[in-house]
């Protein structure tokens, strides 16, 4: 498992030929599969084949991370458009320490969210992804801005986004 972390469950899915996880998409850079605990009608994860622990590690890399994130987003959009074309889609990354697996993964949701009153992380996640005024999709310092047809990725401070959404926590 060159370039993989042997204790990482996502690396095991990628490199174990006996894995029972059904891959929905695979190419030279990423794979996609269904989340084992779906928080929405459709809930997919898109992960890079290279082991990148978190969003913060992605930002520390020399190469342009926006290409990797944009590719992950386009794969997620393609999957949801195929499986749930008539629903609202939301995408986001976890900001450490709120990530459950230390392998970068993009959450791809086809709404509605499934209520989970026992898990505060999912409650916070669903509130964070309801931003619609500017259609900013984020769970980290990486923000993916979409206009419905194209997307761009930029580095942006979370506090700036929250200031633009004064009613963020009142939803």
Mean pLDDT score, 120-133: 49
Q: How much is the pLDDT for 1?
A: 44
Q: Does pLDDT of 122 surpass 90?
A: no
Domain range 9-170, its CATH number among 3.40.50.800, 3.30.565.10, 3.30.428.10, 1.10.287.3510 = 3.30.428.10
Longest dimension (CA), the chain: 49
Among 43, 51, 105, 107, which one carries the catalytic annotation?
107
Residue 107 designated active-site: yes
How far is 160 from 22, CA to CA, in rounded Å? 38
Q: Using alpha carbons, list the distances in angstroms from residue 112 to 42, 118, 129, 171.
A: 9, 18, 11, 15
Domain ranges of the chain: 9-170
Q: How much is the pLDDT for 17?
A: 86
**In this structure, what token pair is assigned to residue 121?**
């992380």
How far is 115 from 39, CA to CA, in rounded Å? 8
pLDDT single digits (tens) 41-79? 899 999 999 999 988 887 776 666 778 888 999 999 999
pTM: 0.69
Mean pLDDT score, 85-101: 85
Q: Does pLDDT of 159 surpass 70?
A: no
Q: Using alpha carbons, list the distances in angstroms from residue 135 to 23, 91, 152.
A: 29, 11, 12
């Amino acid at each position: 498992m060159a370039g993989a972390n042997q204790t990482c469950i996502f690396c095991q899915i990628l490199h174990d030929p006996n894995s029972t996880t059904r891959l929905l998409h695979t190419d030279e850079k990423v794979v996609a599969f269904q989340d084992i605990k779906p928080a929405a009608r459709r809930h997919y994860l898109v992960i890079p084949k290279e082991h990148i622990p978190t969003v913060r590690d992605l930002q520390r890399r020399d190469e342009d991370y926006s290409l990797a994130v944009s590719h992950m987003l386009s794969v997620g959009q393609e999957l949801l458009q195929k499986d749930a074309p008539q629903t609202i889609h939301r995408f986001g990354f976890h900001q450490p320490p709120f990530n459950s697996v230390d392998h970068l993964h993009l959450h791809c949701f086809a709404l509605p969210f499934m209520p989970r009153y026992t898990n505060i992380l999912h409650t916070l996640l669903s509130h964070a992804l309801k931003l619609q005024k500017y259609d900013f999709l984020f769970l980290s310092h990486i923000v993916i801005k979409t206009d419905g047809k194209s997307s761009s990725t930029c580095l942006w401070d979370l506090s700036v986004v929250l200031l633009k959404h004064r009613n963020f926590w009142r939803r």
